[in-house]
Structure 1
């Protein structure tokens, strides 16, 4: 990431935390960053694109700080506690932005934003899984998702208190306390007779559904175009529709597809009901009326 982009991101984080996402204008961001509006748009296409960059920046910062402990020769329990500490410190460092993001309904929760948030949750669960395996060995494998889900619930509960009262707990003491409670829970899971509640099969089914929901738009649109081509074969060759589809394909391959062109070509399919489902899918991807 370029230094100028970091300056814009940090300035925007401060403003979003102070004023809210909706109430902060691009003009205020560029003034805070000490750049021109033209320079802003060379880095980010819109305020929404900036929000995506902020979430990616936040995710990478958190990941890099956690990974610092991976190569240290520490006992597994001590490493896990230190990773909980650094994760808590990072979250508290950006707590105003996180609170703003969670409460401000006007923030555009488009597919890209939801995808980033979902991936962040998965990475956190993977962190928990890796540490549980290092501490308890392969015997914990059937209960990894139960254990990480329970830990997430406990951790989020205490984190909310810290967000509103930074002096409520000392972070190191809190991390040790949470780990010790989880140690009791994990040992109970390992000694119980019943199987896991969140089996690998259940989680796999959930992740498969989520993966389809968060699928990349480019892959979606290519699949839709392929189905439309097949439909053209079945309804018989119609030259005007074939040309329209070729124009749509050329347009979506551009770095910045023009919605008006796509919408104009889609209108040529309006009298063919068999294409309605595909038209609606494309309109959803490109936010067309």
Structure 2
């Protein structure tokens, strides 16, 4: 684990236990066993750390949904796992969410932009799973169905937040997937015309973005020659006007099973050079 990741993870624990305002930089450095100087090598301030913390959480969430999308599970099981994963992530992050809500800490512009960006990536994964389950019959109302699915999830999230008790997420996932079946099969009117759809992941994940993220991970993580060379080759392809698809796929195969490179693998797998 890199020192930057250590600081982020320890800060997340302390923020959940003590609140953001109640946690000092000195508290964080003591928990990490580092000096304040080492802290400031990675973060300008506690607010800067908070922005990176949200980025870290968002990337983790996107990676988990992406792993589900590309898994070998049957499509219907993917949909049920999608619902269960949504509520499992909520449960895992509950201490931090509760602390954040109670303090009414204001979201800065950077975090709002992060949320919008990562939300679009999760929406793309969700769309892919819906198409795998129901096929092309949902194309005329795909966006409306996506909004409906999010409404089902958000409604139960609100209920879970307001009524704290143990929940059987597997059963809830089964119920929601069956309910979505009924909606797809029996709804004859849809509000959103598919022509209004604006979700275009290929405009979100550009070679410049992939290049930036690769440089970041090379700066903060240590890899052996195999992964270093694979990442360097991907960087070279990012700089090409027409990246070599064979090289890109080969390097993706090299890095996709390294946990430290899950985010890079996601970006490469969904980058503009696939379109």
TM-score, length basis structure 2? 0.65
Aligned pairs for 1:137-156 (under 5 A) are: 137-156=135-154
Q: Does 1:113 align with 2:111?
A: yes
Structure 1 residue 166: Cα displacement: 5.9
Structure 1 residue 180: Cα displacement: 0.9
Matched residue SS, 1:68: helix
Structure 1 residue 158: Cα displacement: 1.7
Counterpart of 1:62 in structure 2 is 61
**CA separation of 1:154/1:71 partners in 2, compared to 1, >3 Å: closer, same or farther?**
closer
Deviation string for 1:2-26 (max 9, x for gaps)? 6211211111111222232233222
Distance, in Å, in 1 between the alignment partners of 2:14 and 2:158 is: 22
* Conserved? CA contact 1:9–1:54, under 8 Å: yes
Structure 1 residue 201: Cα displacement: 4.2
Distance, in Å, in 1 between the alignment partners of 2:121 and 2:51 is: 17
Structure 1 residue 165: Cα displacement: 5.3
Counterpart of 1:78 in structure 2 is 77
* Conserved? CA contact 2:51–2:110, under 8 Å: yes
Q: Does 1:199 align with 2:193?
A: yes
Work out which of the two has the higher radius of gyration on C-alpha atoms and give 1 or 2: 1
Distance, in Å, in 2 between the alignment partners of 1:158 and 1:181 is: 13
* Conserved? CA contact 1:30–1:40, under 8 Å: yes
Distance, in Å, in 1 between the alignment partners of 2:140 and 2:105 is: 40
Distance, in Å, in 2 between the alignment partners of 1:22 and 1:117 is: 22
Deviation string for 1:42-82 (max 9, x for gaps)? 11111122112111111221222223333433221111212
Deviation string for 1:208-266 (max 9, x for gaps)? xxx9xxxxxxxxxxxxxxxxxxxxxxxxxxxxxxxxxxxxxxxxxxxxxxxxxxxxxxx
Distance, in Å, in 1 between the alignment partners of 2:186 and 2:45 is: 50
Aligned pairs for 1:1-80 (under 5 A) are: 3-80=2-79
Deviation string for 1:133-192 (max 9, x for gaps)? 111111211222211212112212222343465644211111111111111112223xx1
**CA separation of 1:167/1:8 partners in 2, compared to 1, >3 Å: closer, same or farther?**
same
* Conserved? CA contact 2:84–2:170, under 8 Å: yes
Cα RMSD after superposing both structures: 2.5
Aligned pairs for 1:1-289 (under 5 A) are: 3-107=2-106, 109-163=107-161, 167-189=165-187, 192=188, 194=189, 196-204=190-198
Gaps of 5+ in 2: 205-275
**CA separation of 1:71/1:105 partners in 2, compared to 1, >3 Å: closer, same or farther?**
closer
Matched residues, number:
202
* Conserved? CA contact 1:22–1:106, under 8 Å: no
* Conserved? CA contact 1:92–1:163, under 8 Å: no
